[in-house]
Each structure stands twice: as structure tokens, then as C-alpha cells.
Structure 1
Amino acid sequence: MTLTQVAREAGVSVSTVSRYLRGQLKVQDKTAQRIDNAVRTTGYRVDRGARRDGFIAMVVAELTNPFYASLAEECSTLAAEAGYSLLIAASGRQHARENALSAQLSSTDSIAGLIFAGMHRTNPELERAIAGGLPVVVIDEEVDLSPSTAVSTVTVDNYGGAYQATSYLATLGHRRIAHVGGPPGLLTSEDRLRGYRDALAAHGLAADETLVLRGPYTEEYGASVVPYLTRVEAPTAVFVGSDIVAVGLLSGAELQGLRIPEDLSVVGCDGIQLGQWLRPRLTTLAQPVRALAHAALEALGRVIDSPGETTRQVLPLQLVVRGSAVAPRTTPEA
């Protein structure tokens, strides 16, 4: 007999049954009685001695992006040190797959908790899983939930980082600064765009909306924006909202005869290791990947030990200055 049959008999979710039987979830007396009766009715055998709480799951948007790959690697390492095995699933940046993975993992008896690093603002199945008692921590990109659903989050200060990066370019003497941002609607993208705009205003620079480009976090998109950065009244600098996009931009610039940083200074965001091997080496806002992983696992542990208790952590981004951003050859008038 399976947990699914027990859950159907008791009229509750599979994750509720699983966590109740493992002692990880407190439920109302009437609910507990229904579950206990369902266990007896179906003949389900509760293996009290099995180590059923030794697995946690992690959903990431993709593994081809080095940021997500390094984040998953850090989480895996730290989970192992804490005595857990980490199961990693990639959604391929697809909304439907993020929902499907949330549903599948919440119904899996052996999963003690979930670290969720998706790329979409909504996820009805994740909300159902949280409401059903699955311990969840959302990291990097926040998810919109109903007011009655609370979840622990670990994010970074995207607004402050973007403000710092744009201010750095302005301090170098750049007056036309472009922004190549992520997909519209993502909180990370919107916060970085807001930080960019506010930094321009703080330095007395007029915002030119023709210098704001939005698209997916891919190398292909980075290469495709280069023609827009080489037109009349071209920018002398650009803040790119993702290192992997900046990688594509640097490659596309070379093909177009655009010299980095002589013709265009570039600052990226994420701090992927590949950036230090590019030529020129990429100036970037470094994500605190290990700190993110450590905070996520600590937060998940608290949720597992104390269901209903949630926390919110915001970590800083660090500007790492390398060779891809320098003062413009001539400083135009503001």
C-alpha cells in the first residue's frame, strides 16, 4: 500500500501524511485521527526504523548557467556535510516544468525538504506543497504566494548591487551607460533595473530608455545585443544583469570589431568563475554563492525542525573590479 492511498483515504495531501508519520508535522487532532484510521484501513506499514529523512531536493532553473551549477554544487557539498543526500532537478527555465517538479517532489515520501531556485514568479504547485506541510526554502528568485502562505527566503540585494555597479561606471567618467537586463517580470531583473536607474539619477545622468535592453539570461542574447550598442550615440559602458549574458556580449563584440574595454566598458553580475578567465577579465557583481547555500540549508533545517517558522535573509553582492571596465577615452559633457 502506498502513501497516496493513505492520503486519499484520509482526505489530505501525500506530503501531509508523509511528514505526520515521520513526526515532522503537527496536525489537528481530527486530522491525525483520520490519518491513523487510514493507515489501519489500508494496511500501510510505517517503517519507523528507516532513515526516510535523509534526502532533500533542489530545483534550479538550469544547470548550463554556471551560477546555478555552482549554487547546486555548494548546496550538495554542504548537505553532505550535514548528513543529507541532495537530489537536484533542473526545470530548463520552463514554467510548466517548475510546477510539475514541485508537485512530484511534494508527493515523494523520501523527501524531507525542498530548496527552490526557479525563474518564475508564480507556482501554484509549490504553494500547495508548502500548504501541505513540505518544508521549503526559496532562494535567489522570489515566488509570489497568497498572503496566507509563508515561506522562508534567501536572496541577495539586487537593487543595491546594481546601484553600486552603475555608480562605479559613472565614477569612472562614463555618461552614456546602457543596461542589458533579464526577462521582464522577474524580481531580480526589476530590482537591478531600478538600481541602475536610481544610480544614474544620483549622478545627474539622464535615463535613456533606448539604452535599456531586456532578454533571457543566455550567451546568445548577449551576443545579439551588440549591434544595438554600436549605433550613433552609442554608450561607452554597459551594466549587464548576468555574467553569462556578458560572456556572449564579449564574444559578439569581438566579431563586430568592438574593443572591450577601449570602446565599451562592461560590468556583469553573478561572479561566475569563467569571468576571471575571459580576456579582458570581467568586472562583476559577485554572488555570495557559498553563503547563499549555507543560509538556505540552515533555513531549511529550521523549517524542518519547527514547521510554520519562516525567515527572510538578504545577502550583499560584492563588486569585483577587473579589466573589462575602465575610464572612457574621452569624457563627454554630462
Structure 2
Amino acid sequence: MTLTQVAQHAGVSTSTASRYLRGQLNVQPETAARIDAAVAALDYRGATPGRVARSSRSVTPPQGSPARGTGVVALVVPDFTNPFFTTLAEECADLAASRQIPLVVAVSGKHGERNGGLSPLIGGTDVLGGLIYLGMSRTDERLARAVADGLPVVVIDEEIDLDLAVDTVTVDNYGGAYQATSYLIQQGHRRIAHVAGPSELSTTQERKRGYLDALADAGLTADPDLIRHGPYTEQFGASTFPYLTRPGSAPTAVFVGSDIVAVGMLGAAELHGIRIPEDLSVVGCDGIRIGQWLRPQLTTLEQPVAALALSAVDALERAMARREAQESAGTGGAATGFEPARTVLPLHLVIRGSVAPPSA
């Protein structure tokens, strides 16, 4: 007999049952009675003699520790090779520390392939107090199962295709891309390429849409041969030049959907006999710190990393408070009766040395 079956029999979440039986959660008397009855009826062996009786006592956290019920918060990121994810993780960790919330970081891999380490973490809802999820997969079923089991979750950066009642925090990728492309047009560029991320991601789709609309509104026609999709890596950026330097069709400017890809382009430009910005103007996206140390310095759409982290942590604390209220009331399970909030933050164009008017 499993703890999940006990929870189902009692009409509460697995997390509620587990934490109650371990003496880590106070619930309403009627909820406690239902869990105790389920343990007895199903002969659940996980509850040792006297454990249920002890679990009804109040548990007081040690001096200086997080409040009861907070638990450990996990931040899931795709990788640490992209400095944007590293910087965002640092901001979230600093905020969590200032609020005395223990935080761990899990790396899911770009396509969620690191299943062995991630699934036990997400599945361990009796251990986790909440989850901040930044993934490169729009259909992560592990996330759906965690939300259904009552784990407080906030999704940031990339939107997902699952119908989940969770708060989301994103940036205005469309507006930022429109602004960046319009800036290149204002500088006199007419053949503007777009080096984009993986085509299935929401960030990629919105940035591409902003790029195309900016061209169309300026009376320019997008050349499909000047749009390249690939992973957010330096290697992909360096590999784009053979496609962008064909005689008679070369662009004079490029909007790049990620700074780390733009770093690869700037590093490989000289190998292809291209001067930046004299031959090719480059605008990136993310605002990673290394961009200001490149030569020339990278013009970029700067992500509001501090605001992203603050909005995510605030939203997660609200979600955890909702779960605590539900568990105290004995309802358990996924949050109900609230409208998920969608926060959209602006991108800021930072003008540096990698853009110039096209040469004669």
C-alpha cells in the first residue's frame, strides 16, 4: 500500500499526507481524522506505531529557520553554458537567501533529457516547497504531474503548451525584437538577417514575429534565406556565416535571438573576412555581461534579470501561501479558485559599438 493511495483515500494531496504523517504539517481536525482513518483502513506500513498520534502535535521550526511549510525551493534551468541562465540563477538565489528560503538548482538539459536527476526532484513534492521552472521543453509532463499533485510552480522565460493553473513571468519578446529590427532599419539597413533559436520555443517565435513585422511595417520584404534557426550556442553562431555571406545576397545587418549566439558570430567574423560593424551590424538579445567586453561591444536587448527573479520569487511565495491555506483547510491537491497571473516585462535596447550605418 503506497502513500499515494492513502492520500487518495483521504481526499488530500500526497504532499499533505506525507508531511502530516511526518509531523511537519498541522491540518484541520477533520482532515487529520480522514488521513488517520485512511492509514488504518489501508493498513499503511509507512506509519509506524504511534507515528500518527505524534504527527498531530505542533512542530516549531528552529530559531532563524524558514517558516513551517516553506520547504526547499527548486530552480530548474536548461544549462549553465549560457550566462543568461547563470545570472538569473544567481539573482533568484540571492533573493531566496534574503528571505530565508532554502533554494537548490537543477539542470534539466536543453530538451529535458536529464530525466534521471530531474524527475525525482520534481516528483518529491513532500520535500519541495515550490518550483521555479525555466525549461527548453514546452511539453514537460513531469511538470504537469507536479502541479496536479499540489506543488506550487511558477514558469518563467519560456511559455509552455500545457494547460496548467500556474503563474508565468516572461518578457516582451515581440516588442523587443520589433524595436531591435526597427533600430537597424533606422540606421539605413535594408537587408537584415535573423539568426534565431530553436523554432519550437515561444521566445524564438515571438522574436521572429517582431522581426518580420518590423520589416513589413517599413515596407521591406523578408528573405527566407536570411533566417536561420539553431540552438542557443556559440558554435551555432559561428556556423552561420557560410549561409549569410553568399555573393549577391549577403545582409548588412543581423538581429540575433541570443547574445551567446552573437558571441560566436563576433568571434568567427574575422575568419570569414567580415568586419563588425563595417561589413555587418549585429544586435543580440539577453544582455549578458560578456557583451560589454567584446570588441566591438555588443548592442543588445537587455533582459530585466533582477525584475524577472523578483517577480518569480514573489509569485512562488504567493503560490506556497495558497497551498498552505488549502492544506490547513484540508482541501489539498492542485490550487483551485484563483486566476493564474501572467507578468510580461519589457526588454531594453542597449546601444553599443556593434551597429553602424551600412558602408557605401
Normalising by structure 2, we get a TM-score of 0.83
Partner residue, 1:10: 7
- Give the counterpart of 2:321 among 290, 305, 312: 305
| Alpha-carbon spacing, 1:291–1:52, altered in 2? closer, same or farther (3 Å) | same
Map residues 199-210 of structure 1 onto 2, 5 A cutoff: 199-210=214-225
Instruction: Give unmatched runs, 5+ long, in structure 2.
Output: 62-67, 324-334
User: Does the 8 Å CA contact 2:125/2:151 hold for their aligned counterparts?
Assistant: no
Tell me the distance in 1 between the aligned counterparts of 2:288 and 2:183: 20
Q: After superposing the two structures, state which structure 1 stretch, 225-234 or 102-111, moved more.
A: 102-111
Tell me the distance in 1 between the aligned counterparts of 2:189 and 2:26: 56
1:90 aligns with 2:68: no
User: Does the 8 Å CA contact 1:15/1:106 hold for their aligned counterparts?
Assistant: no
Q: After superposing the two structures, state which structure 1 stretch, 7-16 or 300-309, moved more.
A: 7-16
Tell me the distance in 2 between the aligned counterparts of 1:95 and 1:112: 22
Partner residue, 1:281: 297
Residue 39 of structure 1, CA deviation? 5.2
| Alpha-carbon spacing, 1:102–1:199, altered in 2? closer, same or farther (3 Å) | farther
Q: After superposing the two structures, state which structure 1 stretch, 222-231 or 293-302, moved more.
A: 222-231
User: Does the 8 Å CA contact 2:78/2:112 hold for their aligned counterparts?
Assistant: no
1:221 aligns with 2:236: yes
User: Does the 8 Å CA contact 2:16/2:25 hold for their aligned counterparts?
Assistant: no
User: Does the 8 Å CA contact 2:16/2:126 hold for their aligned counterparts?
Assistant: no
Tell me the distance in 1 between the aligned counterparts of 2:20 and 2:351: 51
User: Does the 8 Å CA contact 1:223/1:251 hold for their aligned counterparts?
Assistant: yes
Q: Following superposition, which runs of at least 4 residues in structure 1 exceed 6 angstroms of deviation?
A: none
Residue 33 of structure 1, CA deviation? 5.0
Residue 17 of structure 1, CA deviation? 2.9
1:60 aligns with 2:71: no
Partner residue, 1:48: 59
Partner residue, 2:286: 270
User: Does the 8 Å CA contact 2:284/2:298 hold for their aligned counterparts?
Assistant: yes
1:185-229 Cα offsets, whole Å, 9 max, x none, are 111100000000000001111111110000000000000001112
| Paired letter, 1:69 | T
- Give the counterpart of 2:165 among 135, 150, 160: 150
User: Does the 8 Å CA contact 1:197/1:207 hold for their aligned counterparts?
Assistant: yes
Tell me the distance in 1 between the aligned counterparts of 2:224 and 2:19: 51
Cα root mean square deviation, aligned: 2.3
Partner residue, 2:359: 329
**Partner-residue secondary structure (3-state), 1:227:** helix
| Paired letter, 1:230 | T
**Partner-residue secondary structure (3-state), 1:313:** strand
Residue 16 of structure 1, CA deviation? 4.5
| Paired letter, 1:10 | A
1:110-136 Cα offsets, whole Å, 9 max, x none, are 311000000111011101111111000
| Paired letter, 1:248 | G
Tell me the distance in 1 between the aligned counterparts of 2:357 and 2:297: 16
Residue 78 of structure 1, CA deviation? 0.4
Map residues 14-163 of structure 1 onto 2, 5 A cutoff: 14-18=14-18, 34-38=34-38, 41=44, 42-43=47-48, 44=51, 46=55, 48-50=59-61, 53-97=70-114, 101-102=118-119, 104-146=121-163, 149-163=164-178
Partner residue, 2:227: 212
Residue 52 of structure 1, CA deviation? 5.7
Partner residue, 2:190: 175
Map residues 232-271 of structure 1 onto 2, 5 A cutoff: 232=247, 233-271=249-287
| Paired letter, 2:306 | R
Tell me the distance in 2 between the aligned counterparts of 1:172 and 1:301: 45
Tell me the distance in 1 between the aligned counterparts of 2:280 and 2:146: 47
User: Does the 8 Å CA contact 1:218/1:244 hold for their aligned counterparts?
Assistant: yes
Tell me the distance in 1 between the aligned counterparts of 2:310 and 2:115: 23
User: Does the 8 Å CA contact 2:299/2:351 hold for their aligned counterparts?
Assistant: yes
| Paired letter, 1:142 | E
Task: State the identity %.
Answer: 58
User: Does the 8 Å CA contact 1:19/1:25 hold for their aligned counterparts?
Assistant: no
1:48-95 Cα offsets, whole Å, 9 max, x none, are 235563421010011111000000000000000011111001112132
Aligned pair count reads: 322
| Paired letter, 2:183 | Y
Tell me the distance in 2 between the aligned counterparts of 1:69 and 1:184: 23
| Alpha-carbon spacing, 1:34–1:265, altered in 2? closer, same or farther (3 Å) | same
Normalising by structure 1, we get a TM-score of 0.89
Residue 107 of structure 1, CA deviation? 1.6
**Partner-residue secondary structure (3-state), 1:239:** strand
